[in-house]
Chain A
Amino acid sequence: MNSSKGNLSIEDAIAYVTSVKVRFQEKRENYDQFLKVLCDFRAERIDARGVKSRVNELFKGHNDLILGFNIFMPTEYEIKLPLDLDDEQLQQGHGLGSDDALAFLRVVKDVFKDEMGKYDEFLKVLRDFRNRVIDRRDVAERVKEMFKGHLDLIFGFNAFLPKDYQITLTSQLDCHETDNCQLPWDVLGIILRRLDFDDLFQFAGVCKNWRAFHKIYWTSFLASQEPLVFKKLFNDKKSFSFISITDQKVYHSKTINCFSDFAYSGCSSGYLIMTESRNSFMLLNPFTRRKKVINTSAFQVNCSDLAYHVLLAFGKDSEEFVLVALCKNSNSLHVYQSQNFGWVTYSTMGKPWMVVDFVVLHNTIYVVTDKATIGVLNLNSANINFLQLKGTPSVTSSSHLRLVSCNGQLLVTHFKSEVLLNVYNIDFSTMNYVKLETLGDVALFYASGRNCYALSNPGRWGYESNSVYVINFSSIKCRVYSRDDNTDGLPVTPRTTPYLLDWCFRYPHFEVDSSHVE
């Protein structure tokens, strides 16, 4: 151990190693390399000169760390900045040049740009020292106090001090004060992965660092979970949960469970849409924890599960929204616009067709009828403007037609029970129904009798291209249909208590043109 300083304390070493780890959080290999250099050096497998070049290379651009490394170096081999000095100069024991001092001052000034008083105080300490008002020991004491919480600055300043007067951090606490005893983000992430939704939100309220991390974690978590499967249990312990097929994990939330007495109708734009006995609709976003309630007097709200086929869309860049609710019993089509707090019931009674599904494409709400005619829902006049399309397929009363907006295209899917018969693309330039031979790099997700969604590039989420994933309410299992070979794929969930499953897509987050909303 003769190659390192006698006065090196364990705390110094830990503090320094920790700061390196924090700095290279994103580049773990640098940290590992660094540990190796350290070990090699202490085991005398490489000499001081070798260490110097490896540290320089490893910490390029992190001058404070390079200077900080000096705690491990014998005084005569201390690394000096700038680093282009040759070994000869180093061995002659050149101190830091005036350039280095200026560079360090700039760093200090920058760090304390919001606390200029501190910077001035630092300058005063240096002046006092030069004028011999205070000695080196005082300098170390005062600078240590001043730079509390700025480990990098302390190490940087140490580089200017002779070894006997260098600032020593006396305990791990000195280091912890800087970052509030924080666990590294990768470790926090491992803990977070094991928590449920409510706990995740509690996590965000602990401190700023955790809040920042939670935000990133939650965003990337959701991005990796498209779609989740929504599950509502019907036994005496009614509860909601979300199943991640990707993680093979079930997420619960007590907060959402408060609403388990509400009837569930569907999921749209990331909101669960429910009805309750006080004649209202409730929109619940479990991912942002937002809730909207629509008290309704225009008509009697049906409070049984899946009573409505629903679509929720937002105004462009606004909190205003449009809720489209098709009552499955009466076939009446209700549209709510938050802007005028009002429901409009569309005149569909006595018509030779029924609206069966709707979707938003290019800020416009398209509807499809049981006769495969397609129209635009006019939000201003309570009318549906039908398109004149060629090649409209013939359908029967047992057909289920669903609209899907996918990659800027309007798709019409034709299901018979759970089997996908055909997929059409509406070609707006020729106003034609165009039958698709393949889905291409797209997977469809269908909840039998309810909504159909599309996911392009499904491999990203672990799903197969050119496939249809179906949740069947009666048998309660997920199946994979490929249009080529009709194979079963997803694991079957054994049914112990009655429950309801649905696809929960947070995207698309439907937007309608505000000119339509107004």
Chain B
Amino acid sequence: MAAEKSSIKIITLIAADGSVFEVEPNIVKEMKTVQSYIDELDQNTVSIPLPNVFGNDLAMIIEYCKKHASEEETKEAKEEFDFEFVKRMKSDDKLRLLQAASYLNMESFLQFMAKAIAAEIENQSVEFVRDYFQIESDFTPEEEAELRKENEWAFK
């Protein structure tokens, strides 16, 4: 990456828990939030705190970005990677990564996570979705009853 237009060689990302990641500029290309800082700078090394992303998650995101930024990997290999990447995650991992993607403003990774989450809540009950997103119902019993009626009513 030596003689690129940009003089920045190494970017240091500091996660919320203080863990530090050193990456090459092409890895953070998709992170618009990070990119907007880099663009303004004219230094060899940049250190960027990311107070909304935890180290474990950042490690996974970087892994994803590395795979997808690589020019040697085939399209099939990337798809295979995506498949395995999602497979080894639990639902709360996915939610955290989704939020991280949103915070880092990573368009395609955000879409990727949203797709993975949508696939899991597809054809599921309201209770399942609440459980999945760890949301407690804030409807009153009356409102709940009304909602049930509405859904029962659907085409009945």
Closest A residue by C-beta to B101: A187
**Residues on B with beta carbons closer than 8 Å to the beta carbon of A36:** 36-37, 40
Q: Is the CB of B125 within 8 A of A191?
A: no
* Chain B, interface residues (CB within 8 Å), range: 35 or more
Contact A202 B129 (CB under 8 A): yes
Find chain A residues with CB under 8 A from B10 CB: none
Taking the complex as formed, is B76 at the interface, i.e. its CB lies under 8 A from any CB of chain A? no
Q: B1: which A residues are within 8 A, CB to CB?
A: none
Query: Secondary structure at chain A's binding surface: helix, strand, loop or mixed?
Result: helix
Residues of A within 8 A of B118 (CB): 191, 194-195, 199
A251 to chain B minimum Cβ distance, whole angstroms, is 12
Q: Is the CB of B122 within 8 A of A10?
A: no
Contact of B155 among A10, A43, A291 (CB under 8 A): A291
List, in ascending order, chain A residues with CB within 8 A of B147's CB. 204-205
Residues of A in contact (CB 8 Å), total: 47
Kindly supply a per-residue 1/0 record for chain B positions 112-137, scoring 1 wherever the CB is within 8 Å of any chain A CB and 0 otherwise.
00110111011111100110011111
Taking a contact as CB atoms under 8 Å apart, the answer to whether B102 and A180 are in contact is no
CA of A191 to CA of B115 in the docked complex: distance in angstroms? Answer: 7
Say whether A183 contacts B133, CB under 8 Å: yes
CA–CA, A125 and B67, complex, Å: 57
Cβ distance A490 to chain B, nearest Cβ, rounded Å: 26
Does B8 make an interface contact (CB < 8 A)? Answer: no
Which of A168-213 touch B at CB < 8 Å? 180-184, 186-187, 190-191, 193-196, 198-199, 201-210
State the CA gap A254–B154 with chains docked (Å).
11
Asked if residues B52 and A207 are in contact (CB atoms below 8 Å), the reply is no
Cβ < 8 Å to B, chain A residues 268-326: 284, 289-291
A210 to B102, CA, bound (A): 18
Q: Are B51 and A13 in contact (CB under 8 A)?
A: yes
Q: Which residues of A contact B133 (CB under 8 A)?
A: 181, 183, 206
What residues of chain B lie closer than 8 Å to A204, measured between beta carbons? Answer: 147
Q: Report if A207-B98 is in contact (Cβ < 8 Å); known contacts: A32-B36, A42-B49, A181-B133.
A: no
Residues of the A chain whose Cβ atoms lie less than 8 Å from the Cβ of B37: 36, 39
Q: Find chain A residues with CB under 8 A from B16 CB.
A: 10, 13-14
Given A181-B134, A186-B102, A196-B122: A35 touches B33 (CB 8 Å cut-off):
yes
In Å, the complex CA distance between A291 and B152 comes to 12
Q: Are B129 and A203 neighbours in the complex by a CB distance under 8 Å?
A: yes
* A259 at interface, CB cutoff 8 A: yes
User: Is B111 close to A, CB under 8 A?
Assistant: yes
Nearest neighbor of B15 in chain A, beta-carbon distance: A10
- Which residue of the partner chain, among A191, A198, A201, A291, contacts B117 with CB atoms under 8 Å? A191
Query: Which residues of B in the span 1-38 have a Cβ within 8 Å of any Cβ on A?
Result: 16-18, 33, 36-37
Query: If the complex has contacts A32-B33, A36-B37, are A190 and B114 also in contact, measured as CB distance less than 8 A?
Result: yes
When distances are taken between beta carbons in the complex, the residues of chain A under 8 Å from B114 are 187, 190-191, 193-194
- Residues A291 and B135 in contact, CB atoms below 8 Å apart: no
Min CB gap B110→A, angstroms: 6
Question: Is B52 within 8 A of A202, CB to CB?
Answer: no
Alpha-carbon gap, A204 to B136, bound state (A): 13
Is A255 located at the chain interface by the 8 A CB criterion? Answer: yes
Point out the residues of chain B lying under 8 angstroms from A194, CB to CB: 114-115, 118-119
Interface: A384 (CB within 8 A): no
Q: Is the CB of B51 within 8 A of A17?
A: yes
A190 touches B138 (CB 8 A): no
Cα distance, A173 to B138, chains bound together (Å): 17
Contacts of B48 in A (CB 8 A): 39
Asked whether B156 is an interface residue with its Cβ less than 8 Å from the other chain, the reply is yes
Q: Which residues of B contact A32 (CB under 8 A)?
A: 33, 36, 105
11 contacts between A and B (CB under 8 A): A21-B103, A32-B105, A39-B48, A180-B136, A183-B95, A194-B115, A194-B119, A195-B121, A201-B154, A206-B126, A258-B155
**Which residues of B does A touch, CB under 8 Å?**
16-18, 33, 36-37, 40, 47-49, 51-52, 95, 98-99, 102-103, 105, 110-111, 114-115, 117-119, 121-126, 129-130, 133-139, 147, 150-151, 153-156
Closest 9 A/B residue pairs (Cβ):
A194-B118, A289-B154, A190-B114, A205-B126, A191-B114, A13-B51, A291-B155, A187-B102, A205-B147
A interface residues with partner B (beta carbon < 8 Å): 10, 13-14, 17-18, 21, 32, 35-36, 38-39, 42-43, 180-184, 186-187, 190-191, 193-196, 198-199, 201-210, 254-256, 258-259, 284, 289-291
